[in-house]
Structure 1
Amino acid sequence: MTDRHPLDLPELRPLWSAVHDRLSTGRPVSRVRSGPLDEAGREALADLLGLDRLPGTEPTIPLAGLDGAVLDACGRSLRDVVTAILGPIHDRAAERARKAGQRDAVWGWLAGHSMVTAQPALLEWVGHLRTNGLVDGSPDRTRALLTAALTVLAALPADGEPLPVLAARLLDGDSHALDDGTPVSGLVLRALAVLHGTDLPDSAEARRAVWSGAGVADDQLSATVLAVGLRLDGDGPVAEVTRICADAGHPVSLTLAQLRSPGGLAVPARPVHITENPSVLALALRRFGRHCPPLVCTAGWPNTAVIHLLRRLAEDGASLRYHGDFDGEGIRIAAHVMAKTDAAPWRMAVGDYRAAAPRVPTGPDPGRLTPAPWDGELVDAMAALRTAVVEEVVADLLLDDLAEHRLG
């Protein structure tokens, strides 16, 4: 059994508690207020300090004088005595700074993550999460959940997998990790809502629709990709269909099921251009017919079939070049396509925008703007001019570029 400190008197406990609390703030302390003290406490304090009369019931005591009195009484410092009586003195200011540093490190890591830098619209997601704070106040748990969410986002659009299968494949075999109401599911759905500029889905049906739009349990027949001039090598029926359509000067629409069917698919190692709008494909076919170079359309936000095809083409050596609308949504779609397929920008620089803007002097407002990772000045120019330039406005320039790759 440990002996009690000689100054550990019940009547002085309010004093030691007040000193312990003030020293634990981590800030400089010159005096401490104690109390309320009863008669015995006032007498004990007067004896300790050598006072010739009793202090008040809530006296303010200079710390230097108290430290000297304690040293004279037992030969130990005030800090040592309070620690012996009440336990270690903590530094709450340092602890707060440490925790703030841990929180800042989590949000700094998230803001600098490659997924966010590739699609800067996600900075809005980061800001929302930071405002709401750490999960359970834990930096480690928060980082783990965010890592899981980023893993899922990197895998989207999915290839038609059911949600439990996707979760099990990506998240340590846990098929329920993306169930409705789970933390990771909520993080991913909020990120997708930010990317697409939509409200957070507030019903089970709406959440299923968002997952479906991200390629989860996609209907393999309704998810299609439209292309012209695409001649895939291989002996399977899909490759043959692309060659027949291209040779006839017709577009081809391929379903996800066809793209995933057995049989080799490859394209000669040449540029494949990508547009956001089907009208550009129609103009290219009108101009080039069966001599049209390979051109793929995302038709807005790309579905699973689009991303699947573009990735296959890139894997077979095709260089992908993307063009889209110069408006807020178009910039986000472009960033998404480039992040998911490693496509390079095609006439999407700030100089291209400034040259095109005078063509639509009364053009529509570009809407919500987020940074373009491939050109730091582009969105600033769009914010200054407040003019959207859709692809059809510069279709002649795009077709002139395609003419250099014309077949035959």
Structure 2
Amino acid sequence: MTDRHPLDLPELRPLWSAVHDRLSTGRPVSRVRSGPLDDAGREAVADLLGLDRLPGTEPTIPLAGLDGAVLDACGRPVRDVVTAILGPIHDRAAERHHRTGQRDALWAWLADHEVVTAQPALLEWVGHLRTAGLVDGSPDRTRGLMTAALTVLAALPVGGEPLPVLAARLLDGDSHALDDGTRLSSLVLRALAVLYGTDMPDAAEGRRTLWSRAGVADDELSATVLAIGLRPGGEGPVAGISRICAGAGHPVSLTLAQLRSPGEFIGPAGPVHITENPSVLALALRRFGRQCPPLVCTSGWPNTAVIHLLRRLAEDGAFLHYHGDFDGEGIRIAAHVMAKTGAAPWRMAAEDYRAAVTRVPSGPDPGRLTPAPWDPGLVDSMAELRTAVVEEMVADLLLDDLADHRHGE
């Protein structure tokens, strides 16, 4: 058992506690206020300091004088004495600075993560998480949870996997990691709500609907993609159906089930254009008929079938080009499609928007705006002009672009 320090007296404990606390601030200390002291404590302090009268019940003591008295009494400075009696002296200022640096580094890492920069609407999600604060006050636990959430978001949309299967595949075999009510599930759902521009659902049915929009447990028959002019190679049924429809000047509607088991299917090399709205496909068919070049429609926010087809086409060598509405949601959809499929923007630059606005000088407000990763100036222009331009208003320009890729020419 360690011997007790000779100055570790009950009547001096208030003094040592006050000194230990002040030194632990990490700031320069010249005086220490101790107390309240009882009569025994006042006498002990007077004896230690060599005072000719008793101090008050809450005396303020110069640290230099106390240090000299303690050196005379035991040959050690006051810092060593309070450390021996009460334990290590901390530097709370340095610890606060370190924690602040850890937090700042965490939020900077999250804001700069590739999943967030690819879809800048998620910066709103980052802001919400920062406001909510650290998980259990721990930067490490928070980073671990955010890493798991980003892993899930990077994998969405998926091709109809049940939620437990998705969780087990992505999260170290833990099929319950995304169960309703878990912290991780709530984080991912809040990100999806931000992306889709909806409120965070407060009921289980609404949460299931949000997961479904991201392709979790999608119905393989109801999730479809609309395309025209698609002429893949191969003798599989999906390739055959697509060629027949294209040759007849008709659209083809492919289900997720068909795309997941297409048989022999070799996507066309060269450009494949993508639009947000089906009406543009109708206009393209009217103009080009059987000569229509490949054109795929997302029909607003793309479902799993859309993403599945576009990824397959890109893997087979197609060059994807995307165009959508010039409004807040249209920009978020464009960022999503580009992030998930590698598509390039098609007439989606700031100069294209400014030219398009001249066609609709009294158009509707574009709504909530989030950055466009492919052209930072685009959203600046939209914020300045506050005019939405739907895709149909520039359809003639899009069709002129497509004319250079007509089949058979």
TM-score (norm 2): 0.99
Q: Which residue identity lines up with residue 324 of structure 2 in the other structure?
A: G
Aligned match of 1:231:
231
Give yes or no for the alignment of 1:127 onto 2:127.
yes
After superposition, give the CA deviation of every residue in 1:7-31 in whole Å (9 maximum; x if it has no partner): 1111111000000011111111111
- Partner of residue 187, structure 2: 187
Distance (Å, rounded) in 2 between the aligned partners of 1:262 and 1:298: 20
Equivalent residue runs for 1:331-370 within 5 Å: 331-370=331-370
Q: Could you report, residue by residue, the CA deviation over 1:82-129 in whole angstroms, capped at 9, with x for unpaired residues?
A: 101111001111111111111112111110000000000000000000
Please report how far the alpha carbon of residue 351 of structure 1 lies from its aligned counterpart in structure 2 after TM superposition.
0.6
1:359 and 1:151 map into 2 onto residues whose CA distance is: 42
Q: Say yes or no: does 1:155 pair with 2:155.
A: yes
Q: Output the CA distance in 1 between the equivalents of 2:347 and 2:286.
A: 21
Within 2, Cα distance between the matches of 1:287 and 1:269? 23
Q: Give the alignment of 1:42-57 within 5 angstroms.
A: 42-57=42-57
Q: Deviations over 1:263-283 (max 9, x none)?
A: 121222110000000000000
Map Cα deviations across residues 326-355 of structure 1 (whole Å, 9 max, x no partner): 100000000000000000000000010111
Which secondary structure state, in structure 2, belongs to the residue aligned with residue 268 of structure 1? coil
Q: Which amino acid aligns with 1:33?
A: R
Q: How many residues align?
A: 408
Q: Deviations over 1:288-327 (max 9, x none)?
A: 0010000000000000000000000000000000000010
Alignment of 1:1-400 (within 5 A): 1-400=1-400
SS of match in other structure, 2:376: coil
- Give 1:73 shift: 1.5
Task: Please state whether the residue corresponding to 2:121 is helix, strand or coil.
Answer: helix
SS in 2 for 1:54: coil
**Residue identity matched to 2:55:** P
Which SS does the other structure have where 1:233 is aligned? coil
- With 94-103 and 393-402 compared, the bigger mean Cα shift is at 94-103
Q: Is 2:237–2:262's contact at 8 Å kept on the other side of the alignment?
A: no
Which structure 1 residue ranges, 5 or more long, are not aligned? none
Residue identity matched to 1:213: R
Partner of 2:198: helix, strand, or coil? coil
Query: In the aligned structure 1, how far is the partner of 2:384 from the partner of 2:262?
Result: 50
| CA deviation string 1:238-284 (max 9, x = no partner) | 11000000000000000001111141212221100000000000000
- Paired with 1:343 and 1:64, the residues of 2 have a C-alpha distance of 71
**How far apart, CA to CA, are the structure 1 residues paired with 2:404 and 2:50?**
99
**1:38 partner amino acid:** D
Taking only aligned residues, the RMSD between alpha carbons, in angstroms, comes to: 0.8
Q: Helix, strand or coil for the counterpart of 2:272?
A: strand
Q: In the alignment, residue 395 of structure 2 is paired with which amino acid?
A: A
**In terms of mean alpha carbon deviation, does 364-373 or 139-148 score higher?**
139-148
Q: Distance in 1 between matches of 2:228 and 2:111?
A: 38
Q: Shift of residue 143 of structure 1?
A: 1.0
Identity over the aligned pairs, expressed in percent?
86
Cα deviation for residue 47 of structure 1 reads: 1.2
* Counterpart-to-counterpart distance in 2, 1:270 and 1:360: 33
Further displaced range: 101-110 or 311-320: 101-110
Q: Secondary structure at the match of 2:358?
A: helix
Checking the alignment, whether the CA contact within 8 Å between 2:239 and 2:262 is kept in structure 1 is: no
Residue deviations 1:346-385 (CA, integer Å, cap 9, x gap) = 0000010111111100000000000000001110100000
Cα–Cα, structure 1 residues 299 and 144, in superposed 2: closer, same or farther, change >3 Å? same
1-structure distance, mates of 2:87, 2:149: 42
Kindly report structure 1 stretches of 4+ aligned residues shifted beyond 6 Å: none
